[in-house]
Chain A
Amino acid sequence: MIHIIYGGGVRDSMKGDATAKGALQGSGGGLRTSGIAVGEADAVWVGVDVGACATKVVVIDARRDMRGYHVLRSGVDYAAASREGLEQALDAAGVPPGRIRRVTSTGYGRNNVPFADEVRTEIGCHMKGCFHYHPHAATIVDIGGQDCKVIHVDDRGRRVGFKMNRKCAAGTGAFLEETALRLGVDLSRLDSLARGASKRIRLGAYCTVFSATEILALIRRGESLEDIARGLLESVVQRILEMDPLEGTVILSGGVIHHNPFLARILEEKLGREVVVPPRPQFMGAFGAALYALEGEGEEAS
């Protein structure tokens, strides 16, 4: 039950490029037309992040600019989702598939992207994407649909450690989905509801199912929807604070912060300092993957 995944673009005017679509549909596994040298200036690199909930595709050029992007539900056929995502992102970028130089896949379904040249974990890719916007030592927090991660990166862009949440939905997008459903509100309304809260409600439980029970008790007690919504976002932040020390600059990445930017405000309050949210945080994994595709080109030849 995801209602809010979508957006995408940069160059919407290019949508509907028949050439791009045609070339893709006939392409099967490989996308590039062999024997055609793509000049550096025209070339693009692609990152495909097949997440548990959403598939994100980013197209970048040699200047590392995001030329096009697209997000769609991952569904049950990751290969199809990644193809569809690529098609749309290329469309948005106004670039035909023949100009793709290299593709890196990441995310839950990273091994199901038939046209990928390279596979990387989403931990590496979120780090890479965020470091591009903030090239300093930092702590990156990626909150995804199914899991969350805390990644420590040094001032040279190398990870010095990372942690993934334990096997529980608490502190992830899945938790917000489940609880929004329980509250009968559309997931996309949570953020604005939380901003209207007038008091703090603390959700104590460690577990999504128990939290849902707690919410029932709050509803019974007559608490406002706004206060409960804020309580939910606070609990996501709380789960993250429990994972690992958030040292230095904190950068937030992933779909949950993309759709609930108020979460950054809550985290800032808890930490007592500003946190960084890169542009289009939901695409940081795919963007990082595209950067790996660009940088890894030399290695491949060796």
Chain B
Amino acid sequence: MSTSGLPQRKEFRATARLKQLMADHFHQLDEAAKTGSAKIAWCTSVGPAELLRAMGFLVYFPENHGAMLGATRTAMDYIPAANAAGYSPDICSYLTSDVGAFLRGETPLRRAYGIERVPRPDVLVYNTNQCRDVQDWFHFYGRRFGVPVLGISSPRGVEELSSVHIADVAAQLEAMVPALEKIAGRPLDMDRLREVVALSKRCSDLWKEVLDTARSVPSPWTFFDHTIHMGPAVVARGTPEAVEYYEILLEELRERIEQGMAAVDGERHRLYWEGMPIWGKLRDLANLFMDLRCCIVASTYCNSWIFSAFDPEDPFRSMAHAYTDIFICHAEPWKERYIEERIREFQVDGILFHDAKTCPNNSNSRYGMPQRLQERLGLPALVVHGDLNDLRCYSEEQVRTNIEAFVEQLEER
């Protein structure tokens, strides 16, 4: 294949601001860990971050650290250490890479920000809405650091979310407050909680708005851009900085649309990515799809940080609703309707399923969904086998051949 005249990835002006925001986030945590200036809570990505922030905790997200380990491909140095310590290669490779890095006393924060170690937690708070692995992951650190582990057990496989589900999770959230107050050393200020929930809602709305700009044909950005620019929605929701960031980014995206700037020059096909990113191969895959003139315009993964239900007037119930209404908590028919809607909105002409070896909960190709969607929508679907972090489960050549053949198939239609 010719390598000359290939499209180039287009950088965003906003990236400088993004880098600053991420650096501030980690330096703030590092400072607090060193000086004790603020309490630190570790939280799962769709855990009760709003509640923790409202109580004055600085919030650290191990899943974000996991993604960094994947993206820097250092995960491959650490997963074996966790495997040897009894954490199976078949379980979540975020967990195994994160635990492995901890056992080795290393972190990608050192190279990125000059930070020596992950910030020591005062409390660990999980929500099983995504999977059970987060619970075991947090208990590992609970034992290591000798700090409390609190958690919410969420309903899974829900077709339609009911008031019973929401009441259950809301009650668990409220029940967590006294323990958190004790660790925080201060009572929960409901006004502050409303403020944080309002900021999270604003962040979520803006995140949806920026993602929706990819409905434009050609799209101003791709899934590979989304995975980078989602940083603030992941680590800083509930802060004014995240809101400000997406306002800046939205403006730039609108500019791109006005100028007719395409993320993929000569965009020929618009694809949907279902499943986890393959963090260590993002750049390679971005280039491959660009060479093939394909733009991945939407993904379940990046959409999962849209929490439309947040309502400052009813913080506990709305948090419960937002956390439990995420894609991963739902049953197959709900998930299929969700993907179908995105396919229509984003004018998608092919669906890629990533079957991640160590993440069954985010691998939606295992119960016949690609076949059902293909039949119903008349759209081709492809399943690629890989993993979020464990590149031992990834075959470069197989994935490339599958994707190239899939695009040939799209061309034949």
B405's partner among A108, A124, A160, A167 (CB-CB below 8 A) is: A124
Q: 7 closest pairs, A vs B, by CB?
A: A123-B405, A121-B405, A158-B412, A167-B395, A124-B408, A121-B404, A119-B1
- Chain A residues with CB under 8 Å of chain B are 108, 111, 119-124, 147, 158-164, 166-167
Instruction: Given A161-B380, A162-B409, A167-B393, decide whether A123 and B401 contact each other with a Cβ distance below 8 A.
Output: yes
> What's the nearest-Cβ distance from chain B to residue A181, in Å?
23
B268 beta carbon closer than 8 Å to chain A: no
B402 beta carbon closer than 8 Å to chain A: yes
B374 beta carbon closer than 8 Å to chain A: yes
- Chain B residues with CB below 8 A from A124, complex form: 405, 408
Per the bound structure, the CA–CA distance linking A163 and B35 in Å amounts to 56
Instruction: Given A108-B397, A119-B1, A123-B401, decide whether A167 and B385 contact each other with a Cβ distance below 8 A.
Output: yes
- Chain B residues with CB under 8 Å of chain A are 1, 374, 380, 383, 385, 393, 395, 397-398, 401-402, 404-405, 408-409, 412-413
Per the bound structure, the CA–CA distance linking A85 and B362 in Å amounts to 45
Per the bound structure, the CA–CA distance linking A173 and B404 in Å amounts to 23
B402 and A164 form a contact (CB under 8 A): yes
- Chain B residues with CB below 8 A from A164, complex form: 398, 401-402
Per the bound structure, the CA–CA distance linking A147 and B408 in Å amounts to 19
> What's the nearest-Cβ distance from chain B to residue A202, in Å?
26
- Chain A residues with CB below 8 A from B412, complex form: 158-159
B374 and A161 form a contact (CB under 8 A): yes
A167's partner among B374, B380, B398, B409 (CB-CB below 8 A) is: B398
Nearest residue (CB) in A for B407 is A121
Instruction: Given A158-B413, A161-B374, decide whether A121 and B408 contact each other with a Cβ distance below 8 A.
Output: yes
Nearest residue (CB) in A for B386 is A167
Per the bound structure, the CA–CA distance linking A278 and B145 in Å amounts to 66
B409's partner among A108, A111, A122, A159 (CB-CB below 8 A) is: A159
B408 and A120 form a contact (CB under 8 A): yes
- Chain A residues with CB below 8 A from B408, complex form: 120-121, 123-124, 159
Nearest residue (CB) in A for B374 is A161
- Chain B residues with CB below 8 A from A160, complex form: 380, 409
- Chain A residues with CB below 8 A from B393, complex form: 167
Per the bound structure, the CA–CA distance linking A147 and B399 in Å amounts to 12
- Chain B residues with CB below 8 A from A166, complex form: 385
Interface centre among A121, A123, A162, A166 (most CB of B within 10 A): A121
- Chain B residues with CB below 8 A from A159, complex form: 405, 408-409, 412
Per the bound structure, the CA–CA distance linking A123 and B401 in Å amounts to 8
Given contacts A159-B412, A160-B380, A161-B374, 5 further A-B contacts (CB under 8 A): A108-B397, A108-B401, A123-B408, A147-B398, A162-B409
> What's the nearest-Cβ distance from chain B to residue A145, in Å?
13
Nearest residue (CB) in A for B404 is A121
- Chain B residues with CB below 8 A from A121, complex form: 401, 404-405, 408
A111 and B401 form a contact (CB under 8 A): no
> What's the nearest-Cβ distance from chain B to residue A113, in Å?
11
> What's the nearest-Cβ distance from chain A to residue B134, in Å?
27
> What's the nearest-Cβ distance from chain B to residue A64, in Å?
19
- Chain B residues with CB below 8 A from A120, complex form: 408
A-B contact pairs, 21 of them (CB 8 A): A108-B401, A111-B1, A119-B1, A120-B408, A121-B404, A122-B401, A123-B405, A124-B405, A124-B408, A158-B412, A159-B405, A160-B380, A160-B409, A161-B380, A162-B409, A163-B383, A164-B398, A164-B401, A166-B385, A167-B385, A167-B393
Per the bound structure, the CA–CA distance linking A218 and B413 in Å amounts to 49
Per the bound structure, the CA–CA distance linking A141 and B103 in Å amounts to 47
- Chain A residues with CB below 8 A from B401, complex form: 108, 121-123, 164
Nearest residue (CB) in A for B409 is A159
Per the bound structure, the CA–CA distance linking A164 and B395 in Å amounts to 12
Nearest residue (CB) in B for A122 is B401
- Chain A residues with CB below 8 A from B380, complex form: 160-161
Per the bound structure, the CA–CA distance linking A62 and B401 in Å amounts to 29
> What's the nearest-Cβ distance from chain A to residue B395, in Å?
5
- Chain A residues with CB below 8 A from B1, complex form: 111, 119
Nearest residue (CB) in A for B401 is A121
- Chain A residues with CB below 8 A from B402, complex form: 164
Per the bound structure, the CA–CA distance linking A62 and B59 in Å amounts to 69
- Chain A residues with CB below 8 A from B413, complex form: 158
Per the bound structure, the CA–CA distance linking A160 and B374 in Å amounts to 10
> What's the nearest-Cβ distance from chain B to residue A122, in Å?
7
Per the bound structure, the CA–CA distance linking A206 and B189 in Å amounts to 58
- Chain B residues with CB below 8 A from A119, complex form: 1
Per the bound structure, the CA–CA distance linking A233 and B158 in Å amounts to 44
Nearest residue (CB) in B for A244 is B371
> What's the nearest-Cβ distance from chain B to residue A136, in Å?
17
> What's the nearest-Cβ distance from chain B to residue A289, in Å?
12
- Chain B residues with CB below 8 A from A111, complex form: 1
> What's the nearest-Cβ distance from chain A to residue B398, in Å?
6
Per the bound structure, the CA–CA distance linking A111 and B402 in Å amounts to 15
Nearest residue (CB) in B for A156 is B412
Per the bound structure, the CA–CA distance linking A124 and B408 in Å amounts to 7
- Chain A residues with CB below 8 A from B397, complex form: 108
Per the bound structure, the CA–CA distance linking A124 and B380 in Å amounts to 15
Nearest residue (CB) in B for A105 is B1
- Chain A residues with CB below 8 A from B405, complex form: 121, 123-124, 159, 162
Nearest residue (CB) in B for A157 is B412
Nearest residue (CB) in A for B403 is A121
Per the bound structure, the CA–CA distance linking A160 and B405 in Å amounts to 11
Per the bound structure, the CA–CA distance linking A163 and B381 in Å amounts to 10
- Chain B residues with CB below 8 A from A147, complex form: 398
> What's the nearest-Cβ distance from chain B to residue A94, in Å?
31
> What's the nearest-Cβ distance from chain A to residue B397, in Å?
6
- Chain B residues with CB below 8 A from A161, complex form: 374, 380, 409
- Chain A residues with CB below 8 A from B395, complex form: 167
Per the bound structure, the CA–CA distance linking A158 and B410 in Å amounts to 10
Nearest residue (CB) in B for A123 is B405
Nearest residue (CB) in B for A118 is B1
Per the bound structure, the CA–CA distance linking A147 and B412 in Å amounts to 24
> What's the nearest-Cβ distance from chain B to residue A115, in Å?
14
- Chain B residues with CB below 8 A from A167, complex form: 385, 393, 395, 398
> What's the nearest-Cβ distance from chain B to residue A292, in Å?
10
